[in-house]
Structure formats: structure tokens, C-alpha cells
Structure 1
Amino acid sequence: MKKIILSAIFLCFSSVAFSQLLPSFQFGLKGGANLSKLSTENTFSSDNKAGYYAGLWARIGAAGIHFQPELYLSGKNTTLVSNVDPVGVENKVRFTSLDVPLLIGTKIGAAGVGLRLNTGPVVSFLLDDKQSFGQATGNVFNGRFKNQSVGWQFGAGLDIGSLGVDLRYEAGISKIGKEGYSDTRMNLFTLGLAYRLF
């Protein structure tokens, strides 16, 4: 009886390990919320504001490692407050961008439940930025932003059947500002829900 139990346990672990070695392809939809903040010089401060993202993801895996490219439309919001003259001027900025994460990760689990770890670069293409000022003098606080920026994502996810939940942090690598906010990078947290189509 003991040998049968040990054999069954060994067979179970062997099946899980073998399934990790087989090549696989998955594709699905994804959407969620983000909290974005600009890392800045002492000339102004930035508050966390909620935004959104929605798009597509794919996952190609073999030998326990997967490559996960994604493509989604993202709305990022933040409020900038001047710390120099004129002090206290607010600039509310809304970014709309097309984001392309290119992630490498691994997955641990069995029976339709799995824990994923992912990391990799993300390229953001700015589609639009809208700025609104709390005061008329805020025009001196106006800024111009680059059309493209690069960040790095770290995160984890949990898959249950066709559903998945992802939590990530994105650190800005390249500066996003050209004029007004030249030494500025975008950092954000994202929480998303994914659905696997196949």
C-alpha cells in the first residue's frame, strides 16, 4: 500500500513536471486599473491618480518558461503641484498611450491553478496628453512630453481556469518630459483581470 501511494505521488509530480516542458500557446483579453505617479525634481510634486488599461495578451511557453507579449490602451492620470514660484499651481495631466510589455516569466501550479512571476521591459507610445490648470498663471507650468518612453515591469499573477489576476509595478527607465518636466519618469502600479480565450 505504501509503495502504491508513493508511486501515485511520484506519477503526479512527474506529470506536472512533464506538462511544464511541453510547448504551449495562449491568447486572451485583459483590463484593469492603474495608479500612476511622476518621479520628479524638487520643482514640483506628483500625486497618485487612478487610470485604466485594456487590451490583448499572448503567452508562449516551454520548459517552464514563457514569453508574454501584451498590447493595450492605457489612460494614466496625475496631478502636478508646483513647489517653486508660482507655488501651489496645479497641472492635471491625462496621458493616453499604447503600451507594449514584453515579459519573461515562469508558472508554478497544476489542475488549472497556477502562480505566475513576470518581468520585462514595456514600451509606451504616447497618443495624447491633456493638461488643465487650476489657475491662469498655470500656463508657466505647462510641459511637453516625449512620444515614446521605456519602463520595466515586475509582477505576479494567479490563474484559476480561464481567469487570471495580475498585480504589477512599473518603474520608468527613460525620461518622458521634453520641456517643463525634463527630468521626469512615470511610475505606476497596475491591477488587472485577464480572460483566456484559448
Structure 2
Amino acid sequence: MKKLMLLAVIFVSVNLSAQNASFGLKGGLNYGATGEFESFSQVAGDFTSSFEDGENKTGFHAGVFAQFEVLGIFIQPELMYTELNTEYSAFDYKLNKIDAPVLLGLNVLGPLNIKAGPSFQYILNNEIEGSDLDIDDVEKDITVGYQLGAGLDLGRLGFDLRYEGSFQDNFASGGDIAADSGFTIDSRPSQWILSLSYTL
């Protein structure tokens, strides 16, 4: 149900007023990391905690997009499958998700354009690799971040470079309640996104 509502928000609002519409495929690489890892424990009444930022790693994305031109500007909704990996000192954190950015863009100089807008994230799977730690599901299935960047359109081919950031944290947690120890990871990433697109 949530997925259907998200798709409705993206597409229905632009269909009626669109003057020109195009559709295509896109994919590429993303380079970034999820948020802070915190581990904590309590031994003999003493509480200790430590924090660690993840190391940026390369992932990938692939999906579809539409572009609707309205009054000289364009609206570009996308539906992307994204895989992101983050390296922490004791393990790797793998995140699979659906991204649905809805970008407002403007052609500024010849084939060059700029675009920005909200990006909805739906977590499909999050897991820890290379460790015995178990992790629970994230707090929120859907969160909202933002994307901004620039693109270059050369006929049917397009090139995009964007930055994605977050408006809110979205924690996944795990640990051993009996041993009074645990951890949290902020699953909302900050990343650079490089894409190649093809308009059908």
C-alpha cells in the first residue's frame, strides 16, 4: 500500500499539466556511506559507548525515469534500485533500497541543466557482513532526503552528477539485551551519484 501511494505522489501530480513527456532507462555508480555506528555496553553499572563513521564505498543503481516539461522547466520523477555498501572497522554494512527522487530542473546553457528535489527511500534489506552481529529492521520503512546536481543531455544520452543528503536519521539496531550491550547504525546515506541515462 505504501509503495502504491508513493508512486501516485510521483506520477499523478505531473501527468495532467505536462506539455512534453519522455521516458527512459538509467543506471550508474554511487559513492558514499551510511551514517554513524554507535556501540554501547554496561558492565558492573558502568555505561560505555563508542562512535564510528563509516568509510565511503562504491555501490550501484539502476532504474527508470520520466521527464515532463511544464512552462519551460521540467519535473523528473525516477524509480531506482540502489545497492550501497559501507565499511566499518569490524564489519561491512549492506543496504538494498528503492529510491524515488522527484526533481525540479531547468536547462541553463545548451545541453546543461541543473536539478534538485526530495528523494524518497524505501529500505528493502539491511544486513551486516563479516561479523556475528545480528541487526534488526530499520525504524522507518520510508524516509525523505534530498538530491541536487547537474546534468548534460547529448541527444538520447544523458549524464548526471548529484549529491544526496538526508533530512532525518533512520536507525537500525541490534545487540544482546541479556549482556546489556548493543549498537545502532544510521541507515540514511550521504552519497555522490553518477548516472548514465538513455531516453527511449
Normalising by structure 2, report the TM-score: 0.73
Match 2:138 to one of 120, 128, 145: 145
Match 1:24 to one of 5, 20, 27: 20
Counterpart residue type for residue 88 of structure 2: L
1:181 and 2:177 matched: no
Distance 1:38 1:183 in 2: 6
Q: How far 1:37 moved relative to its partner?
A: 1.1
Counterpart residue type for residue 150 of structure 1: V
Normalising by structure 1, report the TM-score: 0.74
> What is the number of residues matched between the two proteins?
161
Amino-acid identity (%) = 32
Rg larger in 1 or in 2?
1
Q: How far 1:25 moved relative to its partner?
A: 0.8
Distance 1:99 1:38 in 2: 15
Q: Is the 8 A contact 1:144 1:181 kept in 2?
A: no
Q: Is the 8 A contact 1:150 1:174 kept in 2?
A: yes
Match 1:74 to one of 55, 73, 82: 82
Distance 2:93 2:29 in 1: 17
Q: How far 1:143 moved relative to its partner?
A: 5.8
Structure 1 residue runs of 4 or more that deviate by more than 4 Å after TM superposition: none
Q: Unpaired segments of 5 or more residues in structure 1?
A: 1-21, 82-89
1:33 and 2:29 matched: yes
Pairwise CA RMSD of aligned residues? 2.1
Distance 1:160 1:52 in 2: 23
Q: Quick check: 32-41 or 166-175, which moved more?
A: 32-41
2:123 corresponds to: 126
SS of the residue aligned with 1:46?
Answer: coil
Q: Structure 1 184/128 Cα, relative in aligned 2: closer, same or farther at 3 Å?
A: closer
Counterpart residue type for residue 189 of structure 1: W
Q: How far 1:182 moved relative to its partner?
A: 5.7
Counterpart residue type for residue 20 of structure 2: S
Q: Is the 8 A contact 2:35 2:185 kept in 1?
A: no
Aligned positions of 1:158-177 closer than 5 A: 158-177=152-171
2:58 corresponds to: 50
Distance 1:170 1:73 in 2: 15
Post-superposition CA distance 1:49-100 (Å, at most 9, x none): 110000001111122211110001110110123xxxxxxxx12111111110
Distance 1:148 1:36 in 2: 20
SS of the residue aligned with 1:39?
Answer: coil
